[in-house]
């Protein structure tokens, strides 16, 4: 939701801003029995109500909920190697797959499906996902997010030197961008 709001605000501005995404590892280790908790369901219902046009759909029992965030971050880092436009397309397609289609984005097959939908070179994507340098970059991004930006939540958006946590309303992003100018 934060990404969509920020993207809408950026699209409304005459000046282009470079948006750098820094990955924060929300779940650093794989959970054997991941669950869509009642607390998480409440957050998703709030997000769905706040932005109904996004089509956010809370998970239901029986659907495989992702147990960790590293595979998706590796895939996003691999997508970055195919350029900014491909990376951004992949990024939003990945969110859609998770938030709307309720697909397990730790599953390699699902990640490849997202890559195809985003128009990535699938062979290159497969190779890059397995590259140890991609994993190093994911963990380096995480350390930057924690040490440099003091990230403690997803999403954490950095505008200039300003840190915005959570799904902030569009005026928060507008004000941060105005201060940046």
Q: Evaluate whether residue 158 is within a structural domain.
A: no
pLDDT above 80 for 172: yes
Distance CA 124, CA 53 (A): 33
pLDDT above 90 for 122: yes
CATH number at residue 47: 1.10.472.60
The reported pLDDT for the residue numbered 87 is 92
Q: Which pTM value belongs to this model?
A: 0.87
* Average of per-residue pLDDT values in the chain: 89
3-class SS of residue 124: helix
Question: Which position has the higher pLDDT, 112 or 51?
Answer: 112
Q: Evaluate whether residue 118 is within a structural domain.
A: yes
Range of the domain at 73: 23-148
Q: Evaluate whether residue 166 is within a structural domain.
A: no
Single out the residue of 101, 76, 74, 71 nearest to residue 87, CA to CA: 76
- Structural domain total, the chain: 1
Single out the residue of 83, 94, 85 nearest to residue 23, CA to CA: 94
Single out the residue of 90, 85, 76, 92 nearest to residue 129, CA to CA: 76
Dump pLDDT digits (tens) for 148-171: 989 888 888 888 888 888 878 889
């Amino acid at each position: 939701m934060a990404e969509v709001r920020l993207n809408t605000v950026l699209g409304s501005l005459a000046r282009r801003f470079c948006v750098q995404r820094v990955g924060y590892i929300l779940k650093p280790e794989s959970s054997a029995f991941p669950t869509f908790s009642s607390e998480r369901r409440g957050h998703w219902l709030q997000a769905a109500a706040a932005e109904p046009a996004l089509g956010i759909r809370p998970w239901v029992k029986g659907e495989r909920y992702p147990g960790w965030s590293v595979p998706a971050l590796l895939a996003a880092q691999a997508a970055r190697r195919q350029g900014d436009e491909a990376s951004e397309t992949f990024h939003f397609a990945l969110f859609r797959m998770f938030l709307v289609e309720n697909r397990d984005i730790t599953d390699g097959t699902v990640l490849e499906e997202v890559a195809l939908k985003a128009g990535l070179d699938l062979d290159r994507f497969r190779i890059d996902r397995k590259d140890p340098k991609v994993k190093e970059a994911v963990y380096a991004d995480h350390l930057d997010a924690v040490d440099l930006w003091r990230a403690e939540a997803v999403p954490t958006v950095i505008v200039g030197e300003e840190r915005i946590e959570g799904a902030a309303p569009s005026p928060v992003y507008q004000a941060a961008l105005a201060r940046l100018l």
